[in-house]
Amino acid sequence: MRLQVARIGKPHGIRGEVTVQVQTDTPEERFSAGEELIVIDGPVKSLTVKNARWNKTILLLSFQEINDRNQAETLRGARLEIEVSDEPEDDSDEWYEHELLDLKVMLEGEQVGVITALRTNPAQDLLVFEDTDGNEVYLPFVDEFVPEVDPEAGIVVITPPAGLLSLNSDDSTEEEH
């Protein structure tokens, strides 16, 4: 099974370093020197970490195969994944993004959207879904608002606070007046 651990951002400097959006709880383990990462949507199939360092809150990576800014620019937007062994099923409330993508979002028995992403944040994760009107909606991924996740049934049941689903709609400001 593959697990996404980062998305490459812009180049940093002239020696091939790149910024990355970290999508793992253990960056020091995932990005240690010598780790081989699988590249998705990039010009190469894999990269080997040469160095990882923090610049304030941004992780900078350099790779053995990338030597200059021009090469680094070709990686922009690529996803970095690792191969992990399938772990036995447990009753954990932890989910990987790939397990949630494309699940139907259900509210009171009706489909109100489809999961498009999981944003991991230090305080709490956000479940991102596209509602039936095509709007992107962010919902804190906490038991109170997401009481049920059932990948086998292909659904996520939500109980959002009043007004959250209409927050992103274009006519929400008109309703307030």
pLDDT in tens, 31-45: 999 999 999 999 999
Q: Is the pLDDT of residue 110 over 60?
A: yes
Residue 88 pLDDT: 43
Residue 159 pLDDT: 93
**Average pLDDT of the residues in 100-120:** 92
Residue 73 pLDDT: 96
Q: Is the pTM of this model over 0.85?
A: no
Sorted by where each begins, the domain ranges of the chain are 2-83, 97-176
DSSP 99: H
Other beta carbons within 10 Å of 12:
18
**Cα-based distances in Å from 3 to 38, 95, 97, 99, 128:** 10, 11, 9, 10, 18
**Average pLDDT of the residues in 10-14:** 96
Question: Which residue blocks in the chain are alpha helix, DSSP H?
Answer: 27-30, 69-73, 97-100, 172-176
Residue 169 pLDDT: 52
Q: How does residue 168 score in pLDDT terms, banded at 50, 70 and 90?
A: low
Residue that wins the pLDDT comparison between 174 and 108: 108
Q: Does domain 97-176 have CATH number 3.40.50.300?
A: no
Assign domain 2-83 to its CATH architecture: Beta Barrel (2.40)
Residue 177 pLDDT: 46
Sign of CA dihedral 175, 145, 153, 88: positive
Q: How does residue 114 score in pLDDT terms, banded at 50, 70 and 90?
A: very high
Mean pLDDT of the chain: 87
Q: What are the tens digits of pLDDT across the range 130-150?
A: 988 888 888 989 889 999 999
Q: What are the tens digits of pLDDT across the range 78-108?
A: 999 998 876 545 555 678 788 899 999 999 9
Q: What are the tens digits of pLDDT across the range 45-65?
A: 999 999 999 998 899 999 999
Spatial separation of the C-alpha atoms in residues 103 and 116, rounded to whole Å: 8
